[in-house]
Amino acid sequence: MATEVKIYQCPNCLAGLRFDEKSGQLACDSCGTTFEVSVIEQLLADKEQAAASAKIEPEWKINLDNNFSEEEAKHLRAYSCPSCAAEIICDNTTAATSCPYCGNPTIIPGQLRGELKPDYVIPFKLDKKAAVEALKEFYNGKRLLPKYFSDENHLEEVKGIYVPFWLYNGEAEAAMRFRATKMSTYILGNYKITNIDHYRVAREGSISFEKVPVDGSSKIPNEHMESIEPFNYNDLTPFSSAYLPGFLAKRYDEDAETCTKRANERIFSSTEKAFIGTISGYSTLTREYSNIDLKKGDVKYALMPVWLLSTRWKGKNFLFAMNGQTGKIIGDLPVDAGRYWGWIFMIAVPIAILLAVILFLGVN
């Protein structure tokens, strides 16, 4: 029969602890610190609980079965890009001439069937003119940018698109332990004395999360969508196809269950930051133990307004995105090799001439 072995380590230096008969405490011969047995037992129990909790993924209440009605579907059109396989939706009066994700000019129209109807939408607040102006400002001053990127005709290809998002609601209960120190220095004669006090800091509590957004499109990098957040949920309204005319809407290709991993990561990260933000006044802070239990919550489907411009340059895709509600922007920009070496030449030649003159005058 296997025997369970518990290893007692010093929380400060991770060296092995031994029981000191005289003091009745656990002692560390490495750093000289002693601990109450109950304290170390609690730390060990906390770590075991954290390890067990880490293996359990929280389950979300995903109950999404509200599809477009036949009447609604009659006024909508679906397009598929043969190049990148992206699927988009728009009303039957919107002419979709190119794919907003890869820039392919050919997309194939089809009939909308069985499409999940969004719960919410945030309507566009910024028009195409504002998006083009933002692009110009974004490109301004970037001398190594290929001329094609700043061309007026190219900028006009920017498209307004509703991007699919899953919104997660839940509550996180957390317990955290930290090792902390306070350092003070003073002069005593010819010596500089540094005093270090050690502390153990604990935080426990719960945080509610509402509408944590996760992009449901694999065609748009999560980093881009998270960079143009936050969206103002005060403008979140029940979905109506009346908001679609003149815009496109991306079909999600990553369902709510697939996106739960990213939702969990965002909630866990935000919870830790919130708890750590309550601790101040220490010179150093080291996390020792963290256990976050996420209670089940529901999931909603929403469309968020984004202006997109996708460009292919020398075999690579470059994507510009702007929040269609707030104007916050992010973009990938290439470097024109010809312009780069041209600028190097323009800078290097005058410097070389100046150095040559200085050396010549110095010799003479």
Write down the domain spans for the chain: 1-56, 70-167+214-265+304-340
- Token duo for residue 250: 């991306």
* pLDDT tens, position by position, 148-206: 555 655 677 788 989 999 999 989 899 988 989 998 888 888 888 888 888 889 999 99
Predicted local distance difference test score (pLDDT) of residue 1: 39
- Is pTM beyond 0.85? Reply is no
1-56 is a CATH 2.20.25 domain: yes
User: With 50 as the cut, is the pLDDT of residue 344 above it?
Assistant: no
Predicted local distance difference test score (pLDDT) of residue 326: 94
Predicted local distance difference test score (pLDDT) of residue 108: 58
User: With 50 as the cut, is the pLDDT of residue 137 above it?
Assistant: yes
Name, in order, each residue with C-beta under 8 angstroms of 244's C-beta and a sequence gap of 6 or more. Answer: 76, 89, 90, 91, 94, 162
Over range 197-226, report the average pLDDT.
90
Mean residue pLDDT of the chain comes to 77
Tell me which of 331 and 208 has the higher pLDDT: 208
Name, in order, each residue with C-beta under 8 angstroms of 73's C-beta and a sequence gap of 6 or more. Answer: 111, 112, 113, 115
Over range 337-346, report the average pLDDT.
45
User: With 80 as the cut, is the pLDDT of residue 2 above it?
Assistant: no
For residue 58, give the DSSP letter: P
Q: How many helices (H) and strands (E) does the chain have?
A: 7, 15
Residue 42 confidence class, pLDDT cut points 50, 70, 90: confident
Q: How far is CA 161 from CA 4, 80, 321, in A?
A: 58, 15, 10
Over range 85-89, report the average pLDDT.
76
Name, in order, each residue with C-beta under 8 angstroms of 164's C-beta and a sequence gap of 6 or more. Answer: 118, 215, 216, 217, 249, 250, 251, 252, 301, 302, 303
Over range 73-99, report the average pLDDT.
70
User: Around Cβ 223, how many Cβ atoms within 10 Å?
Assistant: 9
Among the ranges given (250-259, 307-316, 348-357), the one the predictor scored with the smallest mean pLDDT: 348-357
Q: What is the distance between the terminal CA atoms of the chain, rounded to a whole angstrom? A: 92
User: With 80 as the cut, is the pLDDT of residue 37 above it?
Assistant: no
Tell me which of 272 and 145 has the higher pLDDT: 272
Could you tell me which of 80, 95, 118, 135 has the C-alpha nearest to residue 304? 118
Q: Where are the alpha helices (DSSP H) in 142-259?
A: 152-155, 222-227
Contact between 131 and 160 (Cβ < 8 Å): yes
**Any idea which residue has 């906390």 for tokens?**
46
Residue 337 confidence class, pLDDT cut points 50, 70, 90: very low
